[in-house]
Amino acid sequence: MRSTSTLLLLLSLLGCKDKGADSAAPVSARGAAPAAQPPAPALRRLTRSQYDNAVSDLFGDGLVLPAKLEPDAEVEGLLSVGAATNAVSAYGVELYEDAAFLIAEQVFSDAERWGALVPCTPEADDDADCAAAFAESIGQAAWRRPLDADEVDTIAGVIASIGAAAGDFNTGAMYGLAAVLQSPSFLYRVEHGSTDGDLRPLTDWELASRLSFLLWNSVPDAELLDAAAAGELATAAGLEAQARRMLADPHASDGVRNLFDEIFHLYELDGISKDPAVFTHASPDLIDSAREETLRLMEWLVLEEDADFRDLMTSRDTFVDRRLAALYGVAAPVEGGFGLVTLSPEDGRRGLLGHASFLMLEAHAASSSATLRGIFIRDKLLCQTIPAPPADVDTSIPEADASSPTLRERLQTHLEDPTCASCHQLTDLVGLGLENFDGIGRWRDIENGATIDPSGTIDGTDFADAWSLGEAVSNHDAYGPCLTEHLYQYATGHPVAEGEEDLVDWLALGFSENSHSLQELMVDVIVSDGFRNTGAIQ
Amino acid sequence: MSRFRTSRRRFLRGMMQGSGLVCVGLPALELFSPRLAHAGEAFPRRFGMFFWGNGNRPDRWLPDGEGDGDAWALSEELAPLANVKEKLCVVSGMSVKVDNISPHWSGAAGLLTGRQVNGDDDSWTVHNETIDQRIAAEIGGHTLYRSLEIGIGSSSIFSYSGPNAPLSGESDPLTFYARLFGDTFREPGEEGVVDPALGFRRSVLDAVMGDIQRLQGELGQADRERLEQHLDGVRELELRLARLEEDPPDYESCARPGEPLAKYPDVEGRPQLSAKSRVMADMLAMALACDQTRVFHFHFTPPLYRGLFQNVSDDHHNLTHNEPGDQPEVHEITVQVMEEFAYLCEALDAVPEGDGTLLDHTLVMAASEVSEGRTHDLNDIPLVFAGGDTFKRDHHYRSYTQDNVSQAMLSVLRAMGVNATSYGEDEAMATDSLSAIEV
């Protein structure tokens, strides 16, 4: 079983990039990690959720967070890659200033929070020593590293001069805090390594940040910074020890939720339109609930159950609130809020492909879409590239009538016309398997008076309906390697570079060998050379 | 955000009571001298864009007749612009001359940057800044804001200050109001006290600039450029804070507009595009009248917009592809979009400036990334100019040879004083402007 699946995995990894299937002989165990050459380093701007989490971890929960920041932008499928690619706009800089004062002022106004932050008692409005001590302590926490003397002088200078001008040291310190929060050392993660050369090991501080933003989607805690200071992160064993500690910490929920919010583009659910005249269950609240269902299931599968990741496609367990229970036709949780329910085979619904989040995201405002759903499965779950349609063709499909009542008949042109068929056969024949779910994920047996036929084939595996399509996807050769690729890109902030392909293939083998445990895959990624190094500065 | 701004100012004012004006080693400023209007001009020259996604129905867009005045008549889709017809210059029949490799994005990039998208369909950026930002670099430096970006249907807009440097549009009216007409705003002649917080904030920004420059020294080329953009933003903000210590420019029509509603929630699953667009247009007119900016990008909806309009049965993008026949619902949406463009033009035209109106001193360009959405057609691209004094008025110009629309963009650059010898690259490059529409 293992050697067969290993071979298939190897082939499928290559197949994802379409390099053909005539590769080398299989290996029964994956052996030592291959060498990896990461690309040049890039600054990684904190994403919106990282900014919010950082503020909460630095200053405590309960602060009013900025209503708006420079938006995150997706590049190569991930906000994490966009954060390492795009520049901040002038308006974004203005919003960072607003946000810095919003936070600094709230912290300043709260005696308890403020007291915890200022490490000394000022003896004058422009007490230079106290200013420097404040700059050093808050700087190290917010910038995730010790400050050098110039940096301390700069912040301390702001504090002392404004403290003197305002006649109050703490007012100066409030402005100093605002400066710390507008500095590029807070807003960007610097990961440019310690020595010159093609393979530059990240510093202990940089590694601490990379680790905490991966696992917690936030800044390192004191224990992790202490480990960095003690040089413990320089060894694989030290890194692994911290990684396992952090995976067991409640903050890991934020990390897992954000990982899948990005990979599955669930954030795009914000602001989608659903016509309530067509979908009577639709509401903004339902859309929020749907996103939450998927994120809760991910948290539970990965952190509580440490489940085989293939279970995501076949899990009959899920989390519903009153709205989702009504949509799915299952009993609502007794306690109110979200509760764990087990779907039955008669429901026809299981796994991510039965989640309202995915089903409403990959649909139109007033109808379902076999094409969009098929693209999601190909692109997001199997990492297979589907090109965009040619720009200059009429892509319309006919309206429903007696001869073509269901979407399957209406898509016939796309499936037969040679211009369309090469791609649409890949997408639509898979997406049609989910036609029992309408544009918001409600079950239906019949469309326009005709019974829906959800059967089909995906890459040689037949499926009868959505129930078995999920299983077919979970057993697809590309499924595990695809998640590995997503995770690696998310962790490093760049698309897999040529010099990293062997490593990512090797990590995927380990994922398979470790019963598709995402926790084990995370640790494997973290201790790999690809995570611990960067390339030459260009 | 407005709550924050208010509370921050109140907080600082409270804190400063009794301490009087303070100086923290900043350069001395000429306090209370009015910011001057553009030298030598009674009223500044302004540029704005009105963009919408997914194109039009070309056969119901094309005006009847060509030339000036009564020689041409508005079409069904342009009919909402009847009140400002005398100030319109409609350009039809021109093409975006890039290969249509990326549906919607090739058209948007071809029109607004003069080049193909930079990358493949999966992941791309632009090769250079969009035309609004090129103009902002030329004429945006005199005002509090170099340019203002607004997004009605989405804050995601097609506007770039360079490759990998996308701008976002403000989509929340109250945030826009607080930003432009909040605590720091004064009408001409209104008494004001220089808030010492402005000086403190500037010294914080000085420290931030030092940090950025220190970090830049350690980085590779791409990151240095990214931080240079960040630094530009900090410089612009610092300059704004300095200008806020001066009196506002003295324009007679400048007045604080009414405050918008706190929220514009969806109604029946449909965004309140019209209500939001109109309140934004009214505020924008005052931002221009008060000379807070001279460049705007009013992005009504983005390319490939998937939102629901009123009185139609599906989202805009899906309708353009899947509505059969002559697509009456797509037509209906185009009319609704033009009603909002008309509202914006009329809002500018309602502000008197000297012998004319604000619209007479503002060139507004309305465009979309395709003509017929169904086929992503880049021929006969919809293009309407309103206002300004550099293009013919009450005029319809039609090209019968699918000429390069970059010619018209070159006309725009020159009208705005940009010393450009060409617009675009490769087949989309134009070295001659469209003299037929120029005055």
B349 and B215 belong to one structural domain: no
Assembly ipTM = 0.92
Nearest CA to B360 among B334, B393, B333?
B393
Q: What does the pLDDT read at residue B25?
A: 38
Query: Cβ of B226 and A87 within 8 Å?
Result: yes
If one counts the domains in chain B, the total is 2
Which of A105, A182, A195 is the best mutation test for B, with the most CBs of B within 10 A? A182
CB pairs under 8 A between A and B: 225
Query: Cβ of B220 and A274 within 8 Å?
Result: no
| Alpha-carbon span B398 to A301, nearest angstrom | 62
Tens of pLDDT along B244-257? 999 899 999 999 99
| Alpha-carbon span B131 to B405, nearest angstrom | 13
B228 and B287 belong to one structural domain: no
For residues B423-439, give the mean pLDDT: 97
| Alpha-carbon span A45 to A42, nearest angstrom | 9
Q: What are phi and psi of B275, to 5 degrees?
A: -60, -45
* B335/A contact by beta carbon, under 8 A: no
Q: Is residue A267 part of a domain?
A: yes
Nearest CA to B305 among B373, B365, B366, B372?
B373
Identify the residue whose tokens are 């005249």.
A277
* B194/A contact by beta carbon, under 8 A: no
Banded model confidence at residue A388, pLDDT cuts 50, 70, 90: confident
If one counts the domains in chain A, the total is 2
A92 and A178 belong to one structural domain: yes
Torsion angle of C-alpha atoms A123, A124, A129, A133, degrees rounded to 10: 80
Q: Are B387 and B348 in contact (CB under 8 A)?
A: yes
Nearest CA to A191 among B330, B135, B219?
B219
Which of A46, A138, A168, A275 is the best mutation test for B, with the most CBs of B within 10 A? A275
pLDDT at A269 exceeding the cut of 80: yes
| Alpha-carbon span A144 to A225, nearest angstrom | 7
CB-based burial, B137-154: b 16+ in 10 Å, e otherwise: ebbbebbbbbbbbbbbbb
Banded model confidence at residue A24, pLDDT cuts 50, 70, 90: very low
Q: Is residue A27 part of a domain?
A: no
Residues of A in contact with B184 (CB under 8 A): none
What is the SS3 assignment for A342? strand
Output the DSSP codes for A394-449. Answer: ----PPPBTTB-SHHHHTHHHHHSHHHHHHHHHHHHHHGGGTTB-TTS-B-SEETT
pLDDT at B52 exceeding the cut of 90: yes
pLDDT above 70: percentage of residues in chain B: 90
| Alpha-carbon span A452 to A406, nearest angstrom | 7
pLDDT above 70: percentage of residues in chain A: 95
Q: Which of A40, A105, A161 sits opposite B25 (nearest CB)?
A: A161
For residues B153-168, give the mean pLDDT: 96
Q: Is residue A137 part of a domain?
A: yes
Tokens of A286: 């339902």
**Minimal Cα distance from A161: which residue of B?**
B24
Q: Which of B1, B155, B204 sits opposite A175 (nearest CB)?
A: B204
Q: Which of A76, A166, A395 sits opposite B19 (nearest CB)?
A: A166
Q: How far is B17 from chain A (nearest CA, A)?
A: 10
Tens of pLDDT along A196-212? 889 999 999 999 999 99
Exposed, middle or buried, B308 (CB in 10 Å: 0-12/13-18/19+)? buried
pLDDT at A22 exceeding the cut of 70: no
Query: Cβ of A392 and B220 within 8 Å?
Result: no
Stretch (H or E) spanning B330: helix B328-349
Identify the residue whose tokens are 């209007």.
B37
Q: Indicate the pTM of the whole model.
A: 0.92
For residues B171-194, give the mean pLDDT: 92
* Domain assignment of residue A325, given as a range: 262-474
Q: What does the pLDDT read at residue B121?
A: 67
Q: Is residue B21 part of a domain?
A: no
| Alpha-carbon span B108 to A179, nearest angstrom | 38
Contacting residues for B11 by C-beta, under 8 A, at least 6 apart: A105, A109
pLDDT at B29 exceeding the cut of 50: no
Lowest-confidence segment of A85-89, A476-480, B267-271 by average pLDDT: B267-271
**Identity of the residue numbered A90:** A
How far from A409 is each of A396, A398, A404, A415, A450, CA to CA, in Å? 13, 9, 5, 10, 11
pLDDT at B39 exceeding the cut of 70: no
Beta-bridge partners for B151: B299
For residues A400-410, give the mean pLDDT: 89
Enumerate residues 408 to 437 of chain B having a beta carbon within 8 A of any beta carbon in chain A.
Answer: none
B346 and B423 belong to one structural domain: yes
Query: Cβ of A91 and B214 within 8 Å?
Result: no
Residues of B in contact with A126 (CB under 8 A): none
Stretch (H or E) spanning B286: helix B273-289
Lowest-confidence segment of A61-75, B21-35, B138-152, B192-206 by average pLDDT: B21-35
**Minimal Cα distance from A285: which residue of B?**
B269
A271 and A385 belong to one structural domain: yes
The CATH number given to whatever domain includes residue B133 is 3.40.720.10
| Alpha-carbon span B434 to B408, nearest angstrom | 5
SS3 content of chain A, % helix, strand, coil (to 5): 55, 5, 40
- Among A136, A171, A189, the domain-final residue is A189
B79 and B62 belong to one structural domain: yes
Exposed, middle or buried, B411 (CB in 10 Å: 0-12/13-18/19+)? buried
Q: Is residue B20 part of a domain?
A: no
B135 and B270 belong to one structural domain: yes
Torsion sign across C-alpha atoms A119, A124, A125, A130: negative
Which of A96, A396, A404, A410 is the best mutation test for B, with the most CBs of B within 10 A? A396
Tokens of B210: 């030092």
* B149/A contact by beta carbon, under 8 A: yes
- Among A189, A218, A235, the domain-final residue is A189
Query: Cβ of A388 and B121 within 8 Å?
Result: yes
Q: Are B321 and B166 in contact (CB under 8 A)?
A: no
Banded model confidence at residue A389, pLDDT cuts 50, 70, 90: confident
* Domain assignment of residue B201, given as a range: 195-244
Q: How far is A537 from chain B (nearest CA, A)?
A: 5
